[in-house]
Structure 1
Amino acid sequence: MTAAHSPEESSRPRYTYLGPEGTFTEAALLQVTGPEVAELLPCTDVVTALDQVRSGQADRAVVPVENSIEGGVNATLDTLATGTGLRIVGEMLVPVTFTLCARRGTALRDVRRISTHPHAWAQCRRWVAEHLPATADDRSDAVVHVPATSTAAAAALLSEGPQPFEAVLCSHLSAVRYDLEVLAENVADNPGAITRFIEVAAPGPLPEPTGADKTTLTVHLPDNEAGALLRMLEQFATRGVNLARIESRPIGDSLGRYSFSIDAEGHLSDERLREALIGLHRVCPVVNFLGSYPRADGVPPHLRPGTADADFRAAREWVAGLGSH
């Protein structure tokens, strides 16, 4: 049963995010809005957070999409690629370091099982191998990973009572919120790790171009055609559109069929990107537009000579004038 909302709550925008409270996703969400102006709704997984926007139960969702160590977040990429009714309207970057926490009274030497999200484990496993178990001479006694749906979910479970793990890797915010004892701080194999998050809404007017934008697409290639991937990439290259990210994902209907999730530099209003989309539509059977939005780092693209908007307009005017002479 859905809980009743007060008139004040129902008038505020509703934001879903990968919960529970204390996740890095919540930290990204707080870059966009806060509980004083919006209703923040933690979800158990990425799919639920996005589907609530798709169904109209929420206005926006904030979910992880890419990590500088592990790459794309498959649950997000696949949910965006299937179905309709979602647009990316913004992105946020969150530096990621972890805190090793346990129930009070637990010593570092007692830790043999650590629960956390798989992406978090991937960013900390070298540190864990070097530091835990602290007194073990036999490496067969090494600490093992217990997967969790999120870093904060692991912390929340441990705070409720004994679990089949002794410690968690989570954010410092989770350690404080769930009253866990900190065994080690700034745990990370790569101190400069960053996770990229996206803000997702229902289709509507696009964010205004800023000159430092991204456009996200999902593209399918023709089946059994030699050079299909090259032809797809040429649509960007010949128009001077740089790709900030490209990842293949299985389509799922048969073995060996893949789609490509792409972040292109530029906005739908940019002439070079519009021309690239026209080219993609001619040579690819499926092209899904998932939004144009400002880059979080504010870095504008480097334009190759001949690829500025004015260059495309001048070329079209020249062609249009050829028949009048």
Structure 2
Amino acid sequence: MTIDAPEADAPRRTYSYLGPAGTFTEAALAQVPEAREHVWRPVRNVGEALADVVEGRSDAAMIAIENSVDGGVSTAQDALATTPGLRIVGEYLVPVRFVLVGRPGSRLEDVSLIAAHPVAYAQSLRWLSETLPAHAHIPAASNVASALGLLDGSSPADAAIAPPGITEHHELEVLAEDIGDNPNAVTRFVLVSRTVAPPAPTGADKTSLIVELPEDHPGALLELLEQFATRGINLSLLASRPVGDELGRYRFVIDADGHIRDERMADALMGLRRFSPKVIFLGSYARADRAIVHYPDRYSDEVFVEARDWLRGLVSGEPED
């Protein structure tokens, strides 16, 4: 997808996203001001999107990282853990809404066979059971693919579950709106670029990390978590993923409230570095909800600076007050 061309003297940027047009990922990319009027490159999966960035075909990629109903997106977490040279530079929230669509002229009462991605189907099952109790389900590769199959004749389904944005790109009949069972469902997306310096802290920031446990022993996870707890840092995400080389070896995907330039966060990262054989810093960036991070006064930057200055004074032999 190409949006209106930017001014002639402006650098042309490319953004990869899970396509085709009409996906929730495209809706997330539409929230990025700097991506407007530049090239949007649809790809088939997360690995392809991140490879575009690493290999220079794109300047950044938008990927789904977490869903409020289903939790973390394991394929994205694993890809970030195993693809070096990447940095998260922003996060965006997209409400998860589904519509039931059919071919032009279709009617809801004629629907008996529905195409849907398994996740979308599971999140709409209550509505389907109440409204179309005799329906059958055909799995689809993606939310958009379920609808496109109706148009190109590749699907025998009468209708498909799809994102609302599908109707902006394809001529489909909307048979029902807001069919999702959870009206508060949200998917969190992150914009990933090649490694860059973190932006300045805003006070409403998040730091994302992937940390491996040094070995499997009693209390190992507690030792990891203490690096944050003893510095007053709240974790908004903690998910385990197998390293993959042997049983019992895990890495942890972590979102921590705060910015790497915060004294308490920097101190925690140094503690993690001493503790873990592998710490992947994915980035510090502004929270999508812009919620200010609050913490007790004893964990303020000034307290950490004062403690460090006190220690320097002890080492240098300065007289104590």
Q: How far apart are the structure 2 equivalents of 1:145 and 1:317? A: 65
**Number of matched residues?**
312
Cα distance in 1 between the residues matched to 2:299 and 2:35: 43
Deviation at 1:165, TM superposition (A): 2.7
Q: Which residue of 2 aligns with 1:130?
A: 130
**In the alignment, which residue of structure 2 is the partner of 1:139?**
none
Distance (whole Å) between structure 2 residues aligned to residue 172 and residue 203 of structure 1: 34
Unpaired segments ≥5 residues, structure 2: 1-6
CA-to-partner distance for each residue in 1:236-271, whole Å, 9 max, x for gaps?
Answer: 000111101111111112233221111111111011
Contact 1:235/1:280, CA 8 A, preserved across alignment = yes
Deviation readout 1:89-111 (Å, 9 max, x if unpaired): 00011111110011134333443
Q: 1:172 to 1:237 in 2, by over 3 A?
A: same
* CA deviation map 1:36-70 (0-9, x unaligned): 52100011112111111011111010111111111
Matched, 1:118 2:112: no
1:160 pairs with one of 152, 155, 173: 152
TM-score by length of 2: 0.91
Q: Secondary structure at the match of 1:187?
A: coil
Q: Is the 8 A contact 2:211 2:280 kept in 1?
A: yes
Q: C-alpha separation between the residues in 2 aligned to 1:90 and 1:229?
A: 28
CA contact (8 A) 1:146 1:165 kept: no
Mapping of residues 12-27 of structure 1, within 5 Å: 12-27=12-27
AA in 1 matched with 2:246? S
Question: 1:142-200 CA deviation, whole Å, 9 max, x = no partner?
Answer: 5324132x312222232212514332111222034211111110111111111111100
Distance 1:72 1:296 in 2: 17
Superposition deviation, residue 302 in structure 1: 1.7
Q: For residue 301 of structure 2, what is the amino acid of its counterpart?
A: D
Equivalent-residue separation in structure 2 for 1:227 and 1:247 (angstroms):
17
Change (3 A) 1:22 1:228: same
Counterpart AA for 1:38: H
Q: Which residue of 2 aligns with 1:75?
A: 75
Which whole-Å CA distance do the structure 2 matches of 1:172 and 1:79 have between them? 28
SS in 2 for 1:290: strand
1:295 counterpart residue number: 287
Matches within 5 A, 1:55-70: 55-70=55-70
Rounded Cα–Cα distance in structure 2 between residues aligned with 1:145 and 1:295: 37
RMSD (Å) for aligned C-alpha atoms: 2.1
Partner AA of 1:147 in structure 2: A
The aligned amino acid for 2:131 is: H
For the residue of structure 1 that corresponds to 2:307, the secondary structure is helix
**1:266 pairs with 2:243:** no
In 1, the alpha carbon distance for the partners of 2:318 and 2:248 equals 51
Query: Partner letter of residue 288 of structure 1?
Result: I
Match of 1:143 in 2: 136
Structure 2: how far apart are the matches of 1:145 and 1:304?
52
Task: Write the distance in 1 (CA, Å) between the matches of 2:160 and 2:34.
Answer: 26
Match of 2:4 in 1: none
Q: Secondary structure of 1:186's partner?
A: coil
The aligned residue for residue 188 of structure 2 is 196
- SS of the aligned residue for 2:121 comes to helix
